[in-house]
Amino acid sequence: MSEPNAPCIPLSLPANWDPDAHMPARETEYGRFHESRAAARLAYQLVENGAPEDLALAERVLEATLACQERRPGANHHGNFYWMAEDEVVEDLNAVEFCLHSLIPMMIRFDDRLSPEMADRVREAIRLGLEEIRRLDVLVAYTNICVLDVLNSSLGGEYLGDAAIAERGYRKLVDWMALTDRAGHPQEYNSPTYTMVTIRALAGLAAMVRDENTRIRARTMAARMGLSAGLHMHRGTGRWAGPHSRAYQPTVVCDTPPEAETYRQWLADGTLPNWLEGVLERAPLPMTVEETAGAFQDFVLSTYHAPSFALGVTSKATGGQANACIVHYARPGAERPGVLYTRYLLNDKWLGDTYHATDRTKSRNLIDEGEFIGAQNGPRAICLYAPGRLSGCSSAKGTLIWTRHDLVDEIWVGDRRVETLPVEVGPEDVVVVTSGSAHIAVRPLAVTDLHMGAPRRLVERQGDLVLELYNYQGPEKRFWELGWPGAFYQGRPQCGFYLEVAERDAYPDGRALGRAVAAGALTEHT
């Protein structure tokens, strides 16, 4: 039961509000779409604000949201939601979790602010959604969706008075905690996008669940996740540093607000305990953070923090959205810090070539198509890529990508200062890029040539600086000798590099760092 409404100002509607659809709109290169989860979230905000105008509008927004629920008898995902109002079938199965994440807390807190008819309809939608969640029974390794399942089932079961649903949520939290304890970190490790979802869900569960044991567990795991996140907040850039399991391109290249701001807000509003402030503000530098995200799989992620930069590397890759090697570095005077990230790419793909079906756009991901092994020692790392299964391609290459070529101050290839691109890179050349407060040196290691002098070069692509290390460039072909099992198997091609990052004031220029790296002893066994 909510408190009586105090006089208040109606909520300001979002800039993308569509009054005809009574939902927020999303514009992409494929048209205009309306997300069910965005509408559910707006309905919660309107009801929470509670002005008479808000409550009247909330009923219309809820009408539009509930119209997105699959209610046709016999439908495979009865009770789930269309991701977009324009959809005709349920495809993204996570929609039910995100919609109920708003609807259930809204009803727990404010169901008496809705008309009796609408309140009954929302309760029925929640019941059907929870039945779908039970049938789906998401794997506990899918971290953010598993924790949303826990939140929705625990709170929804309590709200509906259904002990079986609530108990299922309580048990799932125990199972997820056991997997995380065994692994050392959630399987969806260090994700700037999805760890935020997980922390918010755990904090919401701790604040609202009636079951005391579940409340204690949720509070404990929110703090545990917050500790890891705090250890990855880089003070020099304000960014969530280190390698991670998944993130979308705007987050990877720092087009989103600094994550440290969100972390401070969590400390202020009680999402995280205030003792974590010391982790954020007073951790000693330089500092290396090492964690496992699969101790039983020999999976390690490490992050080195220096005052002006952070370098993170994983021991192995975990999927196409992962960032296995990534550097964040300060660019004083620039709107955003610089980022160096890596990808293995086939057929010269680039951002804008891969369609993201859920979000109806090609601007969300630059998918890594390689397999990766890495080792890190402070500001230094050895990184090895190999292509995945090559059924056929016209190019295969490792890439190192520096954001905003126009903000790069110096480029050195060996002892040559580079002023124009493209430029070829010799097999013995050390490449040094100086930008902002950091020098970044790259020494290519063995790069298997699959066709008559595959190039190594620095180029500009869509405004970014890219070092391309090709294993193959040529006519479309299949590689019989790379197929395993296969009669002609010759082993895996390599595409490796040594990486070293230094503070800008540690060397007089990039050439000096390049010479120091070139003078180092290198032994390779291929």
- Taking the C-alpha atoms of residue 245 and residue 322, their distance in angstroms, rounded to an integer, is 4
Based on the fold, state whether residues 513 and 462 are members of the same structural domain.
yes
Rounded average pLDDT over 423-443: 98
- Cα–Cα distance for residue pair 364/368, rounded to 1 Å: 13
Looking at the fold, whether 362 and 493 belong to one and the same domain comes out as yes
* Dist. CA 30–CA 83, nearest whole Å: 15
Number of domains into which the chain is organized: 3
Check if the beta carbon of residue 43 is closer than 8 Å to that of residue 58: yes
The answer to whether residue 424 is domain-embedded is yes
- Among 286, 304, 334, which residue terminates a domain? 286
Structure tokens at 77: 């995902």
Interhelix angle 194-208/212-231, nearest 10 degrees: 150
Domain assignment present for 295 = no
How high is the pLDDT of residue 1? 56
pLDDT tens track for 444-469:
999 999 998 899 999 999 999 999 99
The model carries a pTM of 0.95
pLDDT band at 484 (very low <50, low <70, confident <90, very high): confident
Note the pLDDT of residue 294: 82
Mean pLDDT across 189-215: 98
pLDDT the model gives residue 391: 78
Q: Which amino acid is at 455?
A: P
> What pLDDT was estimated at residue 2?
64
Give a yes or no: residue 205 inside a domain. Answer: yes
| pLDDT at residue 297 tops 80 | no
The stretch 292-318 carries a mean pLDDT of 92
81 - beta bridge partners? 69
* Cβ atoms within 10 Å, residue 512: 15
What is the pLDDT of the chain when averaged over all its residues? Answer: 96
Q: Are residues 353 and 442 in the same domain?
A: yes
183 is a domain residue: yes
HSE of 103, CA atoms in CB hemisphere, 13 A: 36
How far apart are alpha carbons 400 and 438 in whole angstroms?
16
166 in the same domain as 114: no
Tell me, yes or no, whether 86 and 198 share the same domain. Answer: no
Residue 306 within any structural domain of the chain: no
Do 124 and 209 belong to one domain?
no
Residue 457 lies in a domain: yes
Residue 524: inside a domain: no
Please indicate, yes or no, whether residues 354 and 444 belong to a single structural domain of this protein. yes
Residue 452 belongs to domain spanning: 316-518
Claim to verify: residue 168 and residue 213 sit in the same structural domain: yes
221 in any annotated domain = yes
Least confident span in 224-233, 292-301, 303-312, 444-453: 292-301
